Amino acid sequence: MPLVVREITRQTPDIVSIRMQNADASPLPAWQPGAHVDLQLITRHERQYSLCGDPADVASYRVAVRREELSRGGSHYIHAFLREGATVWVRPPRNLFELGEARAYLLLAAGIGVTPILAMARHLASVDAEWRMIVAARTRDGVAFADEIGALGERATVHVSAEEGRLDLSTLLGTIAPGTDVYACGPAAFTDALHALAPTLPEGSGIHLERFVPRAREFSPNEAFTATAARSGVTVDVPPTRSLLESLQGAGVAVSGSCLRGVCGSCAVPVLAGAVEHRDSLTTDDDARVIYPCVSRARSGEALVLDV
């Protein structure tokens, strides 16, 4: 969808928020807290950003972008060159971080990770759920959407490590009541620490993470395998030097892809037969029958049959 940038707001020294609309301000596809959009710039860079506005606002989408020191081009362009009135291209929202049913909620965010968490907090407040939110930042001026967090009341707090020390995640999780689900988003060190603490949660509680980058893991060396796209009637040989996604697209099979790192979920394909080595950061069940072919491969000696 071609959307017009209506407003760019400096949230912190290195974070800007961007509000986008259809040129005629007509309604946009609906979304729920936790959803993200794929945003493509005139430079052809395509990146995923969580929606951090209000789902009740059907006329606009809002995202926030942090300027990365080691930017691959997207955040640098947005901060240096994107202007109000420019056109960007946006894929409709997808939600891989859905807010499920729970007795209570603990929402945790670090840095730019506040974007999906803020939308969740706003929703939970509107339905009178049992919730609390903690946003961690190094310094006070590093807190994005500070006014909006403050407007949520005493259930939403900000933890500034420069003033209070590092947020003690172990102690924090040790205080939650059974049945409380934890939703968290932030940089790798933050989400990895929470992932490691997941076994300590009380009975009936779960943890749900959204990552910016793939979870660091080790896999066996790439091996060649074959994959058949059942609906397309195409079988491809996937060499060790090429991803399954590249091989399918090279053979003319229509499979989309965006992040190419196993984070965004845009390339998901159902698996009809064969065992998968899941290398993405979305799958939680090793026997899951969906593959993200940008990074995942067949297990050694296996051939895959895909529903595409």
**Tens of pLDDT along 271-299?**
999 999 999 988 878 889 999 999 999 99
**Per-residue pLDDT at 210 exceeds 60:** yes
| Nearest partner of 107 among 158, 173, 51, 183, judged by Cα | 183
Mean pLDDT of 71-100: 88
Domain map of the chain by residue range? 2-90, 104-211, 225-306
Query: What is d(CA 209, CA 169) in angstroms, rounded to the nearest whole number?
Result: 14
Classified by CATH at the fold level, domain 2-90 comes out as Elongation Factor Tu (Ef-tu); domain 3 (2.40.30)
* Helices within the chain (DSSP H only): 74-80, 114-126, 146-151, 161-164, 169-173, 188-197, 244-250
Rg (CA), the chain: 20
Label residue 71 by pLDDT band (50, 70, 90).
low
Could you tell me which CATH number the domain at 225-306 has? Answer: 3.10.20.30
**Per-residue pLDDT at 44 exceeds 80:** no
Q: Which one has a higher pLDDT value, 286 or 156?
A: 156
Q: Which CATH architecture fits 104-211?
A: 3-Layer(aba) Sandwich (3.40)
Q: What percentage of the chain has pLDDT greater than the value 70?
A: 98
CA 185 to chain centroid: 8
Neighbouring-strand partners of residue 187: none
**Per-residue pLDDT at 161 exceeds 90:** yes
| 8 A C-beta contact, residue 95 and residue 31 | yes
Query: What is d(CA 76, CA 85) in angstroms, rounded to the nearest whole number?
Result: 18
Label residue 45 by pLDDT band (50, 70, 90).
confident
Query: What is d(CA 139, CA 86) in angstroms, rounded to the nearest whole number?
Result: 32
Q: What is the pLDDT of residues 213-269, one digit of tens each?
A: 767 678 889 999 999 999 999 999 999 999 999 999 999 999 988 778 888 888 999
Q: What is the pLDDT of residues 167-209, one digit of tens each?
A: 999 999 999 999 999 999 999 899 999 999 999 999 999 999 9
**Per-residue pLDDT at 72 exceeds 60:** no
